Structure 1
Amino acid sequence: MAEALVMRGLRSFLVLLVVAAGLGAYLYFVESKREPGDAKKNEKVFAGVESDKIDRVSVKSDKGETTTVEKKSDKWQQTQPATVEADGAELSGIVSNLASLEVQRVVDEQATDFKQYGLDPARIEVAFKAGGQDRRLLIGQKTPSGTDLYAKVPDKPRVFLISSYLESTFNKTAFDLRDKTVIRIDHDKIDSLDITSADRAVKLAKSGSDWRVKAPVDARADFGAVDGIIGRLNTAQMKAIAAPNPTDLKEYGLDKPSLTVTLGSGSSQAGLAIGKAAAEGTTYARDLSRPMVFTIENALVDELKKPADDFRVKDIFDARAFNTTRVEAVRNGQTVAFEKAGEKWKQVAPAAKDADATKVDALLSALTGARASGFVDKTTALDKPELAVTMKYEDGKKQERVVFGRQGSDAFARRDGDVGAAKIDAATLEGIIKALDALK
């Protein structure tokens, strides 16, 4: 009996194998001969409409709010309910999707009861003008599966389906479609940034391509940190409009702002005032060139509250191991110096001789890897430095000198010309001295 069961299972397997082989042969011989493009393409809802020809859009959202936007001189302007600049990115999404909109499936060619589809009245309406011709799209409920939306055009009884993800594209309010820029600036032209509050003032200024902290101390600024905060301000978006024309700024904490940001570009300036906390993780704010009060996300406010030290360069040396051509160290009254000649390193003081390139590279790595963990205004650690290092880099065109010292278990470094000192890891200083001793 067991043998019979085995044979029966084997026959079933062979039958399935034959069926699979037949199906594979069909797919190979039939599908491989099918011409590309044989697959039926979905019908366009608005055939012949090109996105760049659409110059007027009117959206009635599911909240019953109607917003009209018109293109003027290649820029979108909201004309209803108020005349303000429009959000170009939002409008680009709407017009491109109108031009490419496809019928996923026809539900009823001759529908008479539109209410069952949420189309009488339509839940969302999008009217637009393209090439002088007015068009309109009516959008109803989602299908039971939630993957599509019922839709139609006004002059035909046909009800069809469009993809449900388009609801977020077409269902827009006046706020969604307006320009929500927090502060208007030209990122690349900003040359100063001041952040002022009751207890601090951070001033940053650009000199050539480099940024410097000007207050509370004069120090090198981290280009990435400064450029990053300017970029955040440049791209920041309002979360909501609290008052288009407020009569009392005190209500929003803007009569005496908790924080004021001033961005300079030559002789022109732009300002942003930060008020008190609003709802749902936002804060009241105002562009000083406009009357309206709006809200911004707290994350931006937190970035603006960063201490001045966060904008300072943490690297002790600007030089890098690969572009350094000379390094000189003074310790315990003794000077040792190394210079690069071609691809080789030579000791030039106290006596001239070949140097171990691997060991010099280890010293350079230890020096250029030194970073500040914080900054102090004063310290006695550098009154009598334990070590002074001078480095030349970029073919000797640039030079920098740094002194190192200790105070108790803490280690410090100070660049020539800097105020105060940088606190560094004690192990970092130990590593520099160890690498220097290895070259003896």
Structure 2
Amino acid sequence: MRLRNTVVLAVLFILLGAYVYFFELQKDSAKKTERLLSFKEEEVRDIILNYPEREIRLQRDAPRGWRIVHPLEAAADASAVGAILAALSAGEVKRAFKEKPSQMDLRDYGLDKPEVRVSITLTNGSALPPILVGARTPVGNSVYVRRGADGGVILTNPSILTNLAEKELYNRLNKQLADFLDKEDK
């Protein structure tokens, strides 16, 4: 009697393990994570950061790297620009709301007056849909984002807000002394 119960339990355990392996684990691996924007960092030519009180324009300059072209002309900090591009290209969509939000909903999400609006132009001249970054969720583990003016609301990682919310132009400047000394010698 005990051998029979052991065999029945072993068969049930094997069937349960097979179900979990073939149906549940395969379902998770089949789910692909959707990215906020799909681009390669080396294909980006221009970045425009629109804050409520200022606009910062960055442009790739082939021999010298990234440059700030508005509101002043200066070399940009490559790591700061890299952080912006990484946040946008690696940012994954946690959840997407299907319906188009009303103006009242946009206020709830902080998207009626976004903290920052990011526009990217690629080297081939095409423009990616602008990203509007709103408020954090009440829990704080996500940020409300909108892709384009007509898109729905998306939840994404809060790291995008960390990398884009820096409004001070000084933090985007290249601070290497060697660049300034080279210009004085010429």
Output the CA distance in 1 between the equivalents of 2:149 and 2:41: 17
Per-residue deviation, 1:295: 1.1
Q: 1:257 to 1:286 in 2, by over 3 A?
A: same
2:3 matched to which residue of 1?
A: none
Task: Tell me which amino acid in the other structure corresponds to 2:51.
Answer: S
Per-residue deviation, 1:193: 0.8
Per-residue deviation, 1:253: 3.0
Per-residue deviation, 1:314: 0.7
Output the CA distance in 2 between the equivalents of 1:247 and 1:229: 26
- Which of 258, 264, 268 is equivalent to 2:126? 268
Task: Tell me which amino acid in the other structure corresponds to 1:309.
Answer: Y
Q: What is the DSSP-based 3-state SS (H/G/I as helix, E as strand, rest coil) of the residue aligned with 1:274?
A: strand
- Which of 129, 132, 143 is equivalent to 1:283? 143
Residues 48 and 120, structure 2, Cα contact 8 Å, conserved in 1? yes
Task: Tell me which amino acid in the other structure corresponds to 1:232.
Answer: A
Per-residue deviation, 1:110: 5.0
- Which of 78, 85, 90 is equivalent to 1:223? 78
Per-residue deviation, 1:192: 0.8
Residues 272 and 286, structure 1, Cα contact 8 Å, conserved in 2? yes
Residues 250 and 256, structure 1, Cα contact 8 Å, conserved in 2? no
Per-residue deviation, 1:225: 2.1
- Which of 386, 390, 401 is equivalent to 2:184? 401
Q: Of the two structures, which has the highest relative contact order with CA contacts closer than 8 Å and spacing of 6 or more?
A: 2
Per-residue deviation, 1:221: 1.0
Residues 93 and 154, structure 2, Cα contact 8 Å, conserved in 1? yes
Task: Tell me which amino acid in the other structure corresponds to 1:172.
Answer: D
Output the CA distance in 2 between the equivalents of 1:250 and 1:182: 24
Output the CA distance in 1 between the equivalents of 2:38 and 2:103: 21
Q: What is the DSSP-based 3-state SS (H/G/I as helix, E as strand, rest coil) of the residue aligned with 1:240?
A: strand
Q: What is the DSSP-based 3-state SS (H/G/I as helix, E as strand, rest coil) of the residue aligned with 1:199?
A: coil
How many pairs align?
172
| Residue 93 (structure 2) pairs with residue 212 (structure 1) | no
Output the CA distance in 1 between the equivalents of 2:58 and 2:101: 34
1:315 matched to which residue of 2?
A: 176
Task: Tell me which amino acid in the other structure corresponds to 1:269.
Answer: A
- Which of 259, 268, 271 is equivalent to 2:116? 259
Per-residue deviation, 1:171: 6.6
Per-residue deviation, 1:183: 1.4
Q: 1:232 to 1:276 in 2, by over 3 A?
A: closer
Task: Tell me which amino acid in the other structure corresponds to 1:212.
Answer: R
Superposition pairs of residues 343-382 of structure 1, within 5 angstroms: none
Residues 101 and 152, structure 2, Cα contact 8 Å, conserved in 1? no
Greater strand content: 1
Give the fraction of aligned pairs with identical amino acids, expressed as a percent: 18
Superposition pairs of residues 37-436 of structure 1, within 5 angstroms: 110-111=8-9, 114=12, 117=13, 137-139=18-20, 169-170=25-26, 172=28, 177-209=31-63, 210-241=65-96, 243-248=97-102, 250-251=104-105, 252-266=109-123, 267-270=125-128, 271-281=130-140, 282-288=142-148, 291-306=151-166, 307-318=168-179, 399-401=182-184
Larger Rg: 1
Greater helix content: 2
Q: 1:261 to 1:308 in 2, by over 3 A?
A: same
Q: 1:199 to 1:171 in 2, by over 3 A?
A: same
Question: Unmatched 5+ residue regions in structure 2?
Answer: 1-5
Task: Tell me which amino acid in the other structure corresponds to 2:169.
Answer: A
